[in-house]
Amino acid sequence: MMEKKKPTVEFAPGCFDNFEGTQEELQNLIAEIHRMVETGELFEEAEPLTEEEAEEILGRRDGNRSVQ
């Protein structure tokens, strides 16, 4: 039987640049994300994006961010 590979989390460089909390809050957020992946909770609670939401996110990732 083939062993199922556990998912891992990789954060893109700069993904937390606009985070407005403390360093401790950021560390807690990252730990919670890792915990949710490990337990499978992240996938159980996930909801699919609409096409518009996906396009907006992909546009940001490609560097097409609007200036605010």
Residues 9-31 have pLDDT tens digits of 999 999 999 999 999 999 999 99
**Does residue 12 sit within a domain?**
no
What is the percentage of the chain residues whose pLDDT exceeds 90? Answer: 63
**Structural domain span for residue 56:** 23-61
**Number of domains composing the chain:** 1
**Does residue 42 sit within a domain?**
yes
Q: Check if the beta carbon of residue 49 is closer than 8 Å to that of residue 55.
A: no
**Structure-derived torsion over alpha carbons of residues 44, 24, 13, 65, reported in degrees to the nearest 10:** 80
**Does residue 6 sit within a domain?**
no
| pTM across the whole model | 0.65
**Does residue 52 sit within a domain?**
yes
Mean pLDDT of the chain: 86
